[in-house]
A and B are shown apart, each in its own frame.
Chain A
Amino acid sequence: MSEAAAKFTEDRQRLELAALSAPAVIFTVAMIAFPVVYTVWLGLHSFSSTGKQSFVGLANYSRLLADTEFWHGLWVTIALYVLSLVLQLVFGVWLALVLFHAKRLPGIVRSLFISPFMMPPVVAGMMWLVILDPSLGAANYILQSLGLPPSEWLASPVWVIPTVALIDTWQWTPYVALIVLGGLQSLPPSVYEAAQIDGASAFKTFQRITLPLLLPTIVTATILRSVDLLRFFDIIYITTQGGPGNASNTLNIYGFRVGFEFFNIGYASALMLTLTAIVFGAVLAFNRLRGAVAW
Chain B
Amino acid sequence: MKAKAFAARLALALVAAGNGASVACAADFDWKKFQGKTVTFLANNNPVAQALLTHKADFEKLTGITLKVDAYQEQQMRQRLVTVMNARSDEVDVFMSLPSREGPQFAAAGWYADLTPMTKGAVAGDYDYAGLSQALLKAGTFDGKLTSMPMNIEGPILYYRTDILKKCGVEPPATIKDIEPAAKKLKACDANITPFVSRGLKPAIAYTFSNMLHNIGGNYIANGKSNLCSAKGKEALETYSGLLRDYGPPGVVNYSFQQISALYRSGRAAMSFESSNELRTVMDGGERLKDTALVPFPAGDAGQVPTAIGWGMAVSAHSKQLEAAWYFVQWATSPEIQKRMALQGIAPPRSAVANDPAYRKWIEEEPVRKQWQAALDVLAAKGSSEVGYPIVANPESREFIGQAVQDLILKQKTVDQACADADKALDALIAQK
Task: Given A49-B432, A50-B105, A244-B410, verify A265-B266 contact (CB < 8 Å).
Answer: no
**Would you give 25 A-B contacts (Cβ < 8 Å), ordered by A?**
A48-B433, A49-B108, A50-B108, A50-B109, A51-B85, A51-B86, A51-B108, A51-B110, A134-B250, A135-B249, A136-B263, A136-B268, A152-B250, A153-B251, A155-B251, A155-B252, A155-B254, A157-B412, A243-B253, A244-B202, A245-B253, A245-B406, A260-B79, A261-B395, A265-B86
Given contacts A49-B105, A243-B201, A262-B393, is CB(A135)–CB(B268) below 8 Å? yes
Q: Once bound together, how far apart are the Cα atoms of A246 and B250, in whole Å?
A: 18
Give, as a whole number of angstroms, the nearest-CB distance from A48 to chain B: 7
**Chain A nearest CB, measured from B240 CB (Å):** 16
Task: Contact check, B109 vs A245: say whether CB atoms are below 8 A apart.
Answer: no
Which residues of chain B from 370 to 409 have any CB-CB distance to chain A below 8 Å in the complex? 392-393, 395-396, 399, 403, 406-407
With contacts A50-B108, A135-B194, A260-B79 known, is A157 near B410, CB below 8 A? Answer: yes
> Which residues 237-270 of A sit at the B interface, judged by CB distance below 8 A?
239-246, 260-263, 265
Interface hub of B105, B202, B253, B407 (most chain A Cβ within 10 A): B253
Q: List 11 additional A-B contacts (Cβ < 8 Å) besides A49-B109, A135-B250.
A: A133-B251, A133-B259, A155-B251, A243-B253, A243-B406, A244-B202, A245-B410, A246-B403, A260-B79, A260-B82, A261-B396
CA distance A135 to B192 in the complex (A): 10
Q: Please determine whether B251 and A241 come into contact, CB atoms closer than 8 angstroms.
A: no
Q: How far is the CA of A152 from the CA of B410 in the complex (A)?
A: 12
- Chain A residues whose CB sits within 8 angstroms of the CB of B78 once the complex forms: 260-261
Does the CB pair B432–A155 fall under 8 Å?
Answer: no
CA gap between A246 and B201 in the complex, in Å = 11
Q: How many residues of B contact A (CB 8 A)?
A: 38
C-alpha gap A155/B255 in the complex (Å): 9
A135-B249, A136-B262, A262-B393 given as contacts; is B254 within 8 A of A244 (CB)?
Answer: yes
A150: Cβ under 8 A from any B Cβ: yes
- A154 on the interface (CB 8 Å rule)? yes
Closest 9 pairs (CB-CB, A-B): A155-B251, A134-B251, A134-B250, A50-B108, A51-B109, A244-B253, A135-B249, A262-B396, A49-B392
> What is the bound-complex CA distance between A36 and B259, given in angstroms?
39
Question: Inside 8 A of A133's CB, which chain B residues have their CB?
Answer: 251, 259
Task: Tell me the smallest distance from the CB of A42 to a CB of chain B, in Å.
Answer: 10
The interface residues of chain A lying within 8 Å CB-to-CB of B203 are: 241, 261
Closest to A52 in B: B109
Q: Are A134 and B105 in contact (CB under 8 A)?
A: no
Q: Which residues of B contact A153 (CB under 8 A)?
A: 251
Which of chain A's residues have a CB closer than 8 A to the CB of B254?
154-155, 239-240, 243-244
A104-139 interface (Cβ within 8 A of B) = 133-136
Is B406 in contact with A154, judged by CB distance below 8 angstroms?
no
How would residues 208 to 250 of chain A score, 1 for a CB under 8 Å from any chain B CB and 0 otherwise?
A: 0000000000000000000000000000000111111110000
Q: Which residue of B lies closest to A261 (CB)?
A: B395
The answer to whether residues A245 and B403 also contact, given A135-B251, A260-B75 and a CB cut-off of 8 A, is yes
Q: Which residues on A sit within 8 Å (CB–CB) of B268?
A: 135-136
Secondary structure of the A contact surface, majority rule = loop
B201 touches A241 (CB 8 A): yes
Expressed in whole angstroms, the Cα–Cα distance for A263 and B102 within the complex equals 10
Interface pair A134/B395, CB less than 8 Å apart: no
Per-residue contact bits, chain B 50-88, to A (CB 8 Å; 1 contact, 0 not): 000000000000000000000000010011001001100
State the CA gap A188–B8 with chains docked (Å): 83
Q: Which residues of B contact A154 (CB under 8 A)?
A: 251, 254
Q: Shortest CB–CB separation between residue A53 and chain B, in angstroms?
A: 9
A66–chain B nearest beta-carbon distance, Å: 13
Please give, as numbers and ranges, the residues of chain B lying within 8 Å of A152 by CB-CB distance: 250-251
Report how far A260 CA is from B75 CA in the complex, Å. Answer: 8
A155 to B248, CA, bound (A): 13
Chain A residue with Cβ nearest B268: A135
Q: How far is the CA of A142 from the CA of B154 in the complex (A)?
A: 39
Min C-beta distance of B71 to chain A, whole Å: 17
Contact digits for A39-50, partner B, Cβ 8 Å, 1 yes 0 no: 000000000111
State which of B79, B250, B266, B392 has its C-beta within 8 Å of the C-beta of A155.
B250
**Nearest Cβ on chain B to A56's Cβ, whole angstroms:** 15
- Which residue of chain B has its CB nearest to the CB of A242? B202
Chain B residue at minimal CB-CB distance from A239: B254
Nearest A residue to B78 via CB reads A260
Whole-angstrom distance between the alpha carbons of A263 and B254 in the complex? Answer: 24
**Interface mask (A144-183 → B, CB under 8 Å = 1, otherwise 0):** 0000001011111100000000000000000000000000
- With both beta carbons as reference points, the residue of chain B lying nearest to A157 in the complex is identified as B410
By CB atoms of chain B within 10 A, which of A150, A155, A246 has the most?
A155
Within the complex, what minimum Cβ distance (angstroms) separates A148 from chain B? 14
> Are the C-beta atoms of A244 and B406 separated by less than 8 Å?
yes
Which residues of the other chain, A, contact B250 by a CB distance below 8 angstroms?
134-135, 150, 152, 155
State in angstroms the CA–CA spacing of A265 and B109 once bound together: 14
- Nearest chain B CB to A132's CB is how many angstroms away? 8
> What residue of chain A has the Cβ atom nearest to residue B251's Cβ?
A155
Q: A residues within 8 A CB of B396?
A: 261-262
Determine the residue in chain A with the shortest Cβ distance to B255.
A155
Q: Which residue of B lies closest to A262 (CB)?
A: B396
Bound: A239/B105 CA distance, A: 28
Q: Among the listed A150, A157, A263, which residue makes an inter-chain contact with B82, where contact means beta carbons less than 8 Å apart?
A: A263
Q: Which residue of A lies closest to B393 (CB)?
A: A49
- B85 CB contacts on chain A under 8 angstroms: 51
Contact of B194 with A245 in the complex, beta carbons under 8 Å: no
CB nearest to B258 among chain A residues: A129
A207 to chain B, nearest CB (A): 43
Q: Of all chain A residues, which has the CB nearest B429?
A: A49
A residues in contact with B259, CB < 8 Å: 133
Roughly how many angstroms separate A152 CA and B259 CA in the complex, as a whole number? Answer: 14
Report which residue of B201, B251, B399 has the largest number of chain A beta carbons within 10 angstroms of its beta carbon. Answer: B251
Kindly report which residue of chain B lies nearest to residue A257, judged by CB atoms: B399
Q: Which residues of A lie under 8 Å from residue B110 when comparing CB positions?
A: 50-51
Inside 8 A of A241's CB, which chain B residues have their CB? Answer: 201-203
